[in-house]
Amino acid sequence: MTCYAVGLLHAVQMGPGIVAYLEGIDATLAPYGGRFVIHGGPQEALEGACDRDLIVIAFPDRAAARAWYGSPGYRAILPHRLRHARGEVFLIEGMGEGHRATDILRGA
């Protein structure tokens, strides 16, 4: 099942640290099948407001996402982001083909 690494970042301080992070992250994703689905960009608020940058990276499964996050390559660049941005980062699995909203009622 596809697993997504989701980041909601704010207070990003553009400068050499973030540049180093951005220049290094693509190489860390490749060995784990990771690819950007969303990487910031303009938002159109339909309800409420969001003052954070949304980043979504897709991985083949949760094991690959965890392996990427814990990999030496990613751990080497992570301090650049942690020092120059705040926010939340988490993993969440996607839904299978044909998922319907009422499917979540079966587990309730």
Q: What is the pLDDT of residues 63-90, one digit of tens each?
A: 999 999 999 999 999 999 999 999 999 9
pLDDT digits (tens, 9 = 90+) for 3-22: 999 999 999 999 999 999 99
CA distance 7 to 55: 5
Q: Does domain 3-44+52-94 have CATH number 3.30.70.100?
A: yes
- Give domain limits for the chain: 3-44+52-94
Distance CA 67, CA 72 (A): 10
The pTM of the full predicted model, rounded to 2 decimals, is 0.92
